[in-house]
Amino acid sequence: MTRAPRTIVQSIKAHDEIERNPGMDFKPDLFGSIRINRSAVERRAATIGTRRSIKQDYQAAWLLKALTCIDLTTLAGDDTPGKVRRLCQKAKRPVRRDILEGLGVSELNITTAAVCVYHNLIETAVRELAGSGIPVAAVSTGFPAGQIPLPLKLAQVRESVAVGAAEIDIVISRALVLTGDWRSLYDEVRAYREACGDAHLKTILATGELATLSNVAKASWVCMMAGADFIKTSTGKESVNATLPYSLVMVRAIRDYQELTAYKIGYKPAGGISQSKEAINYLILMKEELGNQWLTPSLFRFGASSLLGDIERQLEHHLTGSYSAQHRHPVS
């Protein structure tokens, strides 16, 4: 690997210390007049990944960068402690050592950003990741639909933090967005933030269920006002999950919020991102819209599982010139 790509990989390996967003008072005048031009958003999104060509060593470096930003996730009904333990081992050693040695980056101790599981498997993941520096993220608040009473949602958040989750991925009540009850949405997310304590709060908007891009932008603003550390597209369970148009709207809301408050909010696309090329497109989006400072695990994550296997496969192809079978790169 050439020197420049190596520098890129090293620059994003560490988790930068980001001053946490404290939130702000509810101010509907800051977002109430937002109207998103869908055609303009879609035209801009269509140019992402077409205006620059990333190849060879630089492509490998970008894929390693993407790998360090993955929340390696298992959220299935048949999850078991054994499956989660295997996932955690993959998070600690996401790429075969011979591939890392061939790329010249074996000493960088590259890992995924986090492991994301259901509440019942938090303790299993915490034990398996002990000493690795990899945090455990947990989905909460009645994930994925969020159709349980607020007191139960808050209790679930507190219990997840108590057993070791360092990051909490909550789902917002979509009905509050669809009915325009922004104050109630603010109060709900504010309560989640307080329940999280020192754990970081990622708010899942379920963008595919919010009807309009304007609603996506407004919901992003309300969650950030309420103290969210990250805003996230999807649960991965909706019919439409992460897309570049949704992402463009959300990262521009992040940019505007940062310009107003000086606080940096993280972004997490999730659901349906399984190919290396898609991952690079999202990295390009972040670089062009928010700058290199957002290309770290502290401010950017992928919610994914199969993406890691495809990245490892592409890295092997970079070294050997041949594609191996997908089953040779299992995630867990």
Positions annotated as catalytic residues are 169, 232, 268
Q: Which helix (H) or strand (E) holds 73?
A: strand 70-73
Is 108:13 a contact under the CB 8 Å cutoff? yes
| C-alpha to C-alpha distances, 221 to 24, 40, 116, 195, nearest whole angstrom | 11, 20, 25, 20
Q: What is the dihedral of CA 219, 222, 227, 229, to 10 degrees?
A: 30
Distance (Å, rounded) from C-alpha 290 to C-alpha 295? Answer: 9
Tell me phi and psi for residue 139, to 5 degrees: -80, 145
Q: Which residue is listed with tokens 């990250």?
A: 230
Q: Exposure of 79 by Cβ count < 10 A (0-12 exposed, 13-18 middle, 19+ buried)? A: middle
- Residue 323 sits at the vertex; the CA angle it makes with 317 and 328, to the nearest 5 degrees, is 100
Look at residues 284, 295, 220 and name the one whose alpha carbon lies nearest to residue 258: 220
DSSP state of 106: G
Q: Which helix (H) or strand (E) holds 202?
A: strand 200-204
| Amino acid at position 1, single letter | M
